[in-house]
Amino acid sequence: MCASEIARPRHIAIIMDGNGRWAKQRGRPRAAGHQAGFRTTRDIVEACGRQQIEALTLFAFSSENWKRPQTEVGLLMDLFLRALKSEVSKLCENNVRIRFIGERSAFQPKLQSEMNTAEKLTQDNTGLKLTIAVNYGGRWDIVNAARQLAAQVHSGDLEPDAIDIDLFSQHVSLADLIEPDLFIRTGGEKRISNYLLWHLAYTELYFTDVLWPDFTEVELTSALAFYAGRQRRFGQTGEQVTGTNA
């Protein structure tokens, strides 16, 4: 196979897991793990830009992460706020468009306003489409879409029979992006943890034991190589996909 034929994902979705264990291994507080994880996030966003990936969606804070000790939640919010302030100009330099998915009304007004500002400042950038999932849950996303469609039915603007997969897809988050081709979870757990439940139906799943702060462009390249070796069949036979006779 020549280089130009190697399949590359257009959209990558990542669960950035393992910050706490990375810190624990070093006898350091969990905050140090989150700080190190933030540096990795910055590096991987740049690497995806360099590798001409179209879209990158990162799970930064789940709707269940509020259950963590208040101090950890507080420091994650502080880190998030500082990161937003310090990184926006770099995102612009790198032509990255940033957006957020999740229920943002739960955040402090200061944080919400930084999120809105970052989205506005980068909205015309034409490079990497970066989405950060914060206070996000896959079940919340599906329920939210169902609620929007139910309201349209209630007001008489929509017939129940008109609800199909395509219409539903238009009401979940990331509706204007292609579905993720490649999912990566660092940190060794083999679960989805309420991430993009609707969107991952046919995504290739890659799990690595590497903890997020240790994840580098080399690890990303391994994930891309894994993806290149997959045959995506979407329910068809392998022969149908390759165009060879059965």
- List interacting residues with ligand IPE (CB under 6 A): 15-21, 59-62, 65, 76, 187, 189, 191, 193
| Spatial contact of 126 and 95, defined as CB atoms under 8 Å apart | yes
> Any contact of residue 114 with Mg ion (CB under 5 A)?
no
Size of the site for Mg ion (CB under 5 A): 1
Nearer to ligand IPE, 57 or 62 (CB): 62
Q: Which range binds Mg ion by CB under 5 A, 16-24, 83-91, 155-163, 236-244?
A: 16-24
The reply to whether 65 belongs to the active site is yes
CB of 61 to Mg ion, least distance (A): 11
Per partner kind, with CB cut-offs from 5 to 8 A, the member of ligand IPE, Mg ion, none near residue 80 is none
From ligand IPE, Mg ion, none, interface partner of 193 (C-beta below 5 to 8 A by class): ligand IPE
19 binds, among Mg ion, ligand IPE, none (CB under 5 to 8 A by kind): ligand IPE
* Least spacing, CB of residue 242 vs ligand IPE, in Å: 36
Residue 76 Cβ vs ligand IPE, minimum distance, rounded to whole Å: 6
- Pick from 13, 15, 17, 60 the residue near Mg ion by CB under 5 A: 17
Burial class (CB in 10 A: 0-12, 13-18, 19+), 67: exposed
Choose from ligand IPE, Mg ion, none: what does 21 bind? Cβ within 5-8 Å by kind: ligand IPE
Q: Angle of helix 109-122 relative to helix 70-93, nearest 10 degrees?
A: 20
> Which of Mg ion, ligand IPE, none has residue 76 at its interface (CB below 5 to 8 Å by kind)?
ligand IPE
Contacts of 225 (CB under 8 A, 6+ apart): none
**Which two three-digit tokens encode residue 20?**
């706490």
Check: CB of residue 188 under 8 Å from CB of residue 209.
Answer: yes
Choice between 171 and 206, CB closer to ligand IPE: 206
Between the alpha carbon of residue 46 and those of residues 39, 52, 206, 219, the distances in Å are 11, 10, 20, 14
Look up 43 and say whether it is catalytic.
no
**Alpha-carbon dihedral angle through residues 146, 148, 150, 153, given to the nearest 10 degrees:** -140
Residues making contact with Mg ion (CB under 5 A): 17
Catalytic positions, written as ranges? 17, 65
